[in-house]
């Protein structure tokens, strides 16, 4: 990782309009629209509102986590344990449901488990100064491992009827509960990152943590809060996913971390930290959702889609670098 | 150097304590015959951990090793099905593994993409490729030739060939790390990349070499794995990359690069191998293993961090240290 991180000062100011047109987000929007048109031409079933509503499940749960992950990556950290947090939270909720608890208690437990897991990651990274990659590789094993201890090869399949609302309910017409949660989360994280002091501090830490500390930012505290937020969003995603599937196995949401990181990176967030936007992440989630839905309509198997995700993740980062390399 | 020595000593002591604990209730576990079986069972982990060690020494990480292993194992099984002789298969899997490692290495070296992103991506691509090759079909024992299956299990001087291969690779990597310019370059690049450049070492090329080594070992292990368990399918060694990283971290390979020894790495793998083999003996469900290796990673990095309190500038040292 020998990339130069120095910044260049442009010799001419660009107008806000041309900058917006050339931005990564604009490119993503064009891609999303193109895929949308291509899909509606490729399959007659694509434009059906109910189909599109069903397809939104492809990205809503992952995107909820991606918002928090985007802030974490902008701050120069990463959390690979999100899929395992979902598994553990789902297991806790499943055990509670089996013990006869009602929906409100399940929601509290799901959110609580997410927060505890996030706090655990945050404590190890922020308080003890351990590298987040290894910490979360460790907790990725630990959290899902606890699910395996609790469940083995079994499953929890009984949930209260009212619990199904989160993953299967509709707020109005084809608008699912998950879509509403997704939109609210996008709004909340957009405001948090782009309109508050907290958001500015996150960028500052990602660009230069030492300088941020010397300018009075409490770096550890912010890092801890970011891990807490990622845990919380994983808890919410776990409630949605568990409610939608109606069952819990220890292998639930395996590989989510890859797709969440892919959404974040596709959304134009620098993997080295310091730059990125929530709007980009929203668009990237839509692109991912449209691609998977379109491929699904064409009967492409899931594992082939995961190859495409892997290629997408690498090429999104590689192509701009190749481009600048070739231009030199 | 004394810290490094003492860390390996602590690890050796931990392994002995673990063995003593198990032996106190199940003396049969520590008989030479059973310990040899544990060593054989841990050989794939040792092989992959040695490659991962080189990668981690250069400040990178390779999450694609298990997928590489699975792909090379499947290729070996397919070649065997096509009647290719065993020596050729061995050469082919090592070459293929090295090539897959080279893909990772090139993207890290030439494009400067963080290794975690590259290998997170290639992990799914390599494993997905197995599905593309086979359509998800399994290759079972009866579809493999006897010679193909027997080679890793052939007993020479009391130990199976697979174990001898692992021991030979341990010796080879030990020589590479301690007696060659490349081995020193691995340490130098991870210890201080800027200083390494000034001494004429190419950081990117050294990282590339580490990925190729890790890939070649994964390819070799792919054949051994498939032949030993006599089955090949898409999901073999799923999640094994986490065990491999765990073995390195437990073995005291600093995740920030530059520090770590072959002995520590091997002991880290053995520590996990002993736990894995002891769980069913002690009567604990094998489902505990994932959580235990996760906990072991966390304990090991916490321990590594506390024993690495470096000296340096006094002014604002604490602030500097934490970032």
What pTM value is reported for the model? 0.87
CB–CB of B291 and A313 under 8 A?
A: no
Domain residue limits, chain A: 46-319
Residue with the two structure tokens 């209260």: A160
Tokens of B87: 């020596």
The residues, ordered by sequence, that sit 6+ positions from B194 with a Cβ below 8 Å of its Cβ are none
CB–CB of B112 and A140 under 8 A?
A: no
> What is the β-pairing status of strands A175-176 and B159-160?
unpaired
Phi-psi region of A281 (alpha: psi -120 to 50; beta: other; left: phi over 0): alpha
* Separation CA B44–CA B269 (nearest Å): 9
Within 8 A of B127 by CB-CB distance, chain A residues are 303, 306
B120 inside 8 A of chain A by CB: yes
CB–CB of A138 and B115 under 8 A?
A: no
A265 inside 8 A of chain B by CB: yes
* Separation CA B200–CA B210 (nearest Å): 17
Gyration radius from chain A CA atoms = 20
The candidate with the shortest Cα–Cα distance to B211, out of B109, B71, B93, is: B109
Taking each helix axis as running N to C, give the angle between helix B65-81 and helix B115-134, from 0 to 180 degrees, rounded to the nearest 10.
20
Q: Summarize the confidence of residues A235-245 as an average pLDDT.
A: 96
Query: Distance from B8 to chain A by nearest Cα, in Å?
Result: 20
pLDDT of residue B311: 42
ipTM: 0.83
Q: Is it the case that residue A1 has pLDDT exceeding 50? A: no
Measured from the Cβ of residue B33, the count of other Cβ atoms closer than 10 Å reads 8
What is the CATH code of the structural domain delimited by A46-319?
1.10.3470
A130 inside 8 A of chain B by CB: yes
Q: Summarize the confidence of residues A165-180 as an average pLDDT.
A: 90
The candidate with the shortest Cα–Cα distance to A239, out of A253, A221, A223, is: A253
CA B230 to chain centre: 21
Domains of chain B are 2-307 (1.10.3470)
Within 8 A of A5 by CB-CB distance, chain B residues are none
Chunk chain B into consecutive blocks of 10 residues (it has 323) and report each block's average pLDDT, rounded to whole numbers. 66 92 90 93 97 96 95 96 94 98 96 90 94 91 91 91 96 96 94 92 96 98 95 90 91 88 95 91 86 88 69 46 50
Give counts: helices (H), strands (E), chain A: 15, 2
DSSP B165-202: HHHHHHHHHHHHHHHSHHHHHHHHHHH-HHHHHHTT--
Share of chain A above pLDDT 70, in %: 93
pLDDT of residue A254: 85
Band of pLDDT at residue A323, cut at 50, 70 and 90: confident
What one-character DSSP code corresponds to residue B232? B
Q: Residues B170, B174, B180, B182: is their CA dihedral positive or negative? A: positive
Are B221 and B69 in contact by the 8 Å Cβ rule? The answer is: yes
CB–CB of A141 and B291 under 8 A?
A: yes
Band of pLDDT at residue A2, cut at 50, 70 and 90: very low
CB–CB of A314 and B113 under 8 A?
A: yes
Query: Distance from A15 to chain B by nearest Cα, in Å?
Result: 31
* Separation CA A290–CA A34 (nearest Å): 10
Are A243 and A178 in contact by the 8 Å Cβ rule? The answer is: no
pLDDT of residue B100: 98
Element (H, E) at B38: helix B32-57
Cα nearest neighbour of A146 on chain B: B291
pLDDT of residue A9: 57
Residue with the two structure tokens 């509102």: A49
pLDDT, tens digit (0-9, with 9 covering 90-100), for A299-309: 888 888 889 88
What one-character DSSP code corresponds to residue A212? H
pLDDT of residue A23: 78
Tokens of B319: 């602030």
A170: β partners = A176
Q: Summarize the confidence of residues A134-158 as an average pLDDT.
A: 93
Share of chain A above pLDDT 90, in %: 58
Query: Distance from A105 to chain B by nearest Cα, in Å?
Result: 26
A176: β partners = A170
Are B47 and B171 in contact by the 8 Å Cβ rule? The answer is: no
Query: Distance from B155 to chain A by nearest Cα, in Å?
Result: 35
CB–CB of B291 and A142 under 8 A?
A: yes
The candidate with the shortest Cα–Cα distance to B208, out of B58, B93, B94, B96, is: B58
Q: Is it the case that residue A227 has pLDDT exceeding 50? A: yes
Give whole-number Cα distances, A297 to A33, A42, A44, A316, in Å.
18, 9, 10, 24
Tell me the three-class secondary structure of B100-141, residue by residue: HHHHHHHHHHHCCCCHHHHHHHHHHHHHHHHHHHHCCCCECH
Are B268 and B14 in contact by the 8 Å Cβ rule? The answer is: no
Within 8 A of B301 by CB-CB distance, chain A residues are 130-131, 134-135, 138
Q: Residues A60, A295, B65, B203: is their CA dihedral positive or negative? A: negative
pLDDT of residue A22: 65
The residues, ordered by sequence, that sit 6+ positions from B99 with a Cβ below 8 Å of its Cβ are B215
B323 inside 8 A of chain A by CB: yes
The candidate with the shortest Cα–Cα distance to B138, out of B231, B239, B236, is: B231
Q: Summarize the confidence of residues A205-216 as an average pLDDT.
A: 94
User: Is A38 strand, coil or helix?
Assistant: helix
At B307, phi and psi to the nearest 5? -90, 5
* Separation CA A134–CA A141 (nearest Å): 11
Tokens of B65: 């090793």
Q: Residues for chain B: how many in total?
A: 323
């Amino acid at each position: 990782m020998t990339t130069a991180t120095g910044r260049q000062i442009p010799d001419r100011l660009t107008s806000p309009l041309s900058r917006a047109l050339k931005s990564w987000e604009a490119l993503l929007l064009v891609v999303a629209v193109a895929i949308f048109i291509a899909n509606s031409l490729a399959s007659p079933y694509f434009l059906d509102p109910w189909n599109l509503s069903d397809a939104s499940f492809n990205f809503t749960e992952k995107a909820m986590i991606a918002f928090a992950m985007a802030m974490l990556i902008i701050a120069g950290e990463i959390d690979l344990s999100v899929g395992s947090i979902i598994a553990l939270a789902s297991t806790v909720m499943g055990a509670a449901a089996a013990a006869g608890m009602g929906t409100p208690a399940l929601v509290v437990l799901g959110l609580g488990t997410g927060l505890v897991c996030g706090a655990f990651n945050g404590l190890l990274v922020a308080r003890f100064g351990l590298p987040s990659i290894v910490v979360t590789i460790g907790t990725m094993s630990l959290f899902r491992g606890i699910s395996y201890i609790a469940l083995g090869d079994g499953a929890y399949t009984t949930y209260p009827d009212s619990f199904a609302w989160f993953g299967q309910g509709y707020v109005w017409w084809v608008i699912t509960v998950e879509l509403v949660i997704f939109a609210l989360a996008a709004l909340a994280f957009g405001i948090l990152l782009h309109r508050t002091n907290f958001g500015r501090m996150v960028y500052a830490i990602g660009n230069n943590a030492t300088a941020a500390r010397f300018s009075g930012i409490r770096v550890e505290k912010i890092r801890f809060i970011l891990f807490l937020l990622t845990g919380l969003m994983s808890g919410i995603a776990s409630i949605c996913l568990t409610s939608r599937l109606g069952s819990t196995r220890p292998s639930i949401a395996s590989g989510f971390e890859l797709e969440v990181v892919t959404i974040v990176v596709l959304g134009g967030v620098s993997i080295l930290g310091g730059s990125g936007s929530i709007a980009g992440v929203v668009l990237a989630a839509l692109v991912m959702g449209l691609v998977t839905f379109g491929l699904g309509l064409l009967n492409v198997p899931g594992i082939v889609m995961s190859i495409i995700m892997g290629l997408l993740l690498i090429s999104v980062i590689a192509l701009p670098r190749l481009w600048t390399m070739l231009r030199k | 150097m004394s810290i490094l020595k003492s860390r390996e000593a602590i690890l050796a002591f931990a392994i002995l304590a673990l063995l003593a604990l198990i032996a106190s209730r199940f003396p049969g576990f520590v008989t030479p015959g059973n310990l040899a079986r544990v060593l054989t069972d841990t050989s794939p982990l040792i092989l992959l951990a040695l490659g991962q060690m080189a990668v981690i020494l250069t400040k990178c990480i390779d999450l694609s090793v298990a997928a590489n292993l699975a792909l090379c194992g499947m290729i070996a099984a397919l070649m065997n099905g096509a009647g290719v002789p065993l020596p050729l298969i061995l050469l082919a899997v090592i070459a293929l593994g090295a090539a897959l490692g080279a893909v990772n290495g090139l993207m890290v070296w030439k494009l400067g993409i963080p290794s975690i992103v590259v290998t997170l991506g290639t992990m799914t691509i390599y494993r997905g490729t197995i599905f593309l090759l086979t359509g998800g079909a399994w290759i079972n024992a009866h579809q493999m030739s006897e010679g193909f299956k027997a080679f890793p299990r052939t007993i020479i001087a009391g130990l199976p060939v697979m174990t001898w291969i692992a021991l030979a690779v341990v010796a080879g990597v030990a020589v590479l790390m301690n007696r060659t310019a490349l081995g020193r370059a691995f340490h130098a690049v991870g210890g201080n990349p800027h200083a390494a450049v000034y001494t004429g070492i190419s950081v990117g090329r050294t990282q590339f070499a580490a990925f190729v080594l890790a890939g070649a070992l994964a390819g070799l292990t792919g054949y051994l794995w498939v032949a030993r368990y006599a089955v090949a399918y898409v999901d073999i060694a799923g999640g094994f990359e986490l065990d491999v990283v765990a073995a390195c971290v437990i073995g005291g390979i600093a995740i920030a690069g530059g520090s770590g020894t072959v002995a520590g790495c091997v002991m880290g793998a053995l520590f996990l191998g002993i736990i894995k083999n002891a769980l069913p003996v002690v009567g604990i469900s094998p489902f505990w293993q994932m959580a235990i290796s996760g906990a072991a990673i966390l304990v090991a990095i916490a321990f590594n961090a506390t024993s690495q309190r470096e000296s340096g500038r006094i002014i604002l040292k604490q602030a500097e240290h934490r970032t």
